[in-house]
Amino acid sequence: ILPIDDARPQVASDHPRRMVIKNACFDCSIGVYPEEIGIPQPVRLNLSMDTADIPPRLDDLSEVVCYDRIMSDIRARMTKGHTNLIESLLEEICAICLRHDGVLRVTAMLEKLQPIAEAESVAIEITRQKTNAG
């Protein structure tokens, strides 16, 4: 058996580690039309986060980005009041992700499920990253 340091391949420095959260579903109050205000409706969230690619040496959660903490913060936001625009909510979701240590960049897509008869969903996708100063 090789020592753990000898058994690990070299990190590809030009490619970050990517954490993906797929198809997280929530009911939230979102929309600009009178029939949407105050009425929770189903939405689906997909996240792709570039994180620091530092191999965990101790096999411990403290060494990596914790998806459960990120989702806990997002869950709290999804149940907090009404938001008119998908775009506004996405900006907040990206800010939540980027507040977590180790998250460098996030691409988030939020879908309103069946907002119009002809489509399964309507979605907006944005990408945000930490600034060098932050």
Per the domain annotation, does 43 fall within a domain? Answer: yes
In tens, the pLDDT along 33-45 reads: 999 998 999 999 9
Mean per-residue pLDDT for 108-127? 95
Residue 114 pLDDT level (bands cut at 50, 70, 90): confident
Per the domain annotation, does 25 fall within a domain? Answer: yes
Q: What is the pTM of this model?
A: 0.86
Per the domain annotation, does 61 fall within a domain? Answer: no
Number of domains in the chain: 1
In tens, the pLDDT along 7-33 reads: 666 656 667 899 999 999 999 999 999
Q: What is the CATH number of the domain that holds 32?
A: 3.30.1130.10
Per the domain annotation, does 59 fall within a domain? Answer: no
Q: Range of 89's domain?
A: 17-54+66-129
Specify the 3-state DSSP secondary structure of 73.
helix
| CA 111/CA 71 separation, integer angstroms | 17
Distances (CA, A) of 118 to 51, 60, 87, 115, 122: 37, 47, 22, 9, 10
Q: Which residue is it, tokens 């002809």?
A: 118
Per the domain annotation, does 134 fall within a domain? Answer: no
Per the domain annotation, does 1 fall within a domain? Answer: no
Per the domain annotation, does 70 fall within a domain? Answer: yes
Per the domain annotation, does 114 fall within a domain? Answer: yes
Residue type, 130: K
| CA 43/CA 41 separation, integer angstroms | 7
Return mean pLDDT, the chain.
90
Mean per-residue pLDDT for 48-61? 91
Q: Which residue is it, tokens 């579903």?
A: 25
Between strands 121-129 and 103-113, the pairing is: antiparallel
Select from 16, 20, 21 the least CA-distant residue to 55: 16
Mean per-residue pLDDT for 78-105? 97
The yes-or-no verdict on residue 97 having pLDDT over 80 is yes
